Structure 1
Amino acid sequence: MSSLKLRHSVRAVLLDEEDRVLLCRCLVPGGEVVWITPGGGIEEGETAHAALRRELHEEVGLVFDGPLRHVWHQELVGPGYAEGHDGVINDYFLVRTTAFEPGGALSNSELAAENITAFRWWRTSEIADWRGPELFGPRDMATALNALIAEGVPDQPLLLGL
């Protein structure tokens, strides 16, 4: 029996004072566009919290030293989620912040090399009502966000699907 090689990533559910979430527009292999939360892979020897703080600085320019509260967990197995891996594990942490204009340490060309083409603050209603060709990751993001906003941080991270 072979074991799966999953890439462990951390992602930030960045909510501003109006409960809008900051998402990254990603162009994925095959040409699909998916709006996802900022974040990325945990490097060897790095803690989840250190990785998320690094990713936030690199991608959106947020230096954050407040509490990171684990709210969602997701495991996706299949091709196309992470190059050289059988899938990904995404752990999502809530980060409350005031709205800001994203501008991280990575240049636009470095972001493009990571398939990130834009950033946008979204209201949950905009995500729920979206009928365009672009997707959200996770697909049921609006429901998960509404529950997080209404009910607060869960006792245990909620398990998310695709």
Structure 2
Amino acid sequence: MSPMRLRRSVRAVILNEDDHILLCRLVISKPAGTIAVWAAPGGGVKPDEAALAALRRELHEETGLVIDTDPPHVWHQEVIDPGHAPGHDGVINDYFLVRVASFHPRGAMSDDELAAENIVAFRWWRLSDIAGYRGPDVFSPRDLATPLTALITDGVPARPVPLGL
């Protein structure tokens, strides 16, 4: 049996002064149809790239946010699903908490470049809006309200909290 090929990714839980979280809307076409997912900004870690360097690069490219400090690692997610990340057997997402003042996301990437990454929109979400959402889009992780509530209520965990799909 060949070893599993998992895509390593980093994501930022970007919270503003009102504890709203910045999420990007990804529209992904799959053989079974199109799915829209609200997820934390971030992306793949290049070979020989440190996780925090990848996080800084991704945030600058996607949102325009520049971070100077090392944010705490708060969540860890492993998704084993060959259809989840093209060319891979799944993905490993490491999430880092970034506290900021509200800003309008506008990164270094053009709208066409963002669309090539499946990103079509950004939105600041209130926790209550995530918990009460009944629309057609999904969140990543699917139960985002649960770990987000714990993070806002309890603060940074002693070690990264494992997440489900």
Normalised by the length of structure 2, the TM-score is 0.96
| Aligned partner letter, 2:4 | L
2:37 corresponds in structure 1 to: 34
Matches within 5 A, 1:1-162: 1-30=1-30, 31-162=34-165
How far does residue 48 in structure 1 lie from its aligned partner after superposition? 0.3
Stretch moving more, 101-110 or 24-33: 24-33
1:79 to partner: Cα distance: 2.6
The question of whether the paired residues in 2 share the 8 Å contact of 1:13 and 1:95 is answered with yes
Does the residue aligned with 2:49 lie in a helix, a strand or coil? Answer: coil
Q: Is the 8 A contact 1:14 1:94 kept in 2?
A: yes
Which residues of structure 1 form unaligned runs of 5+? none
The alignment of Structure 1 onto Structure 2 pairs a total of residues equal to: 162
Q: Deviations over 1:42-71 (max 9, x none)?
A: 011210000000000000000111231000
CA contact (8 A) 1:26 1:35 kept: yes
Ranges in structure 2 where 5+ consecutive residues have no aligned partner: none
SS at match of 1:28: strand
For the aligned residue pairs, the C-alpha RMSD in angstroms reads: 0.7
The 2-side partners of 1:40 and 1:56 are apart by 9
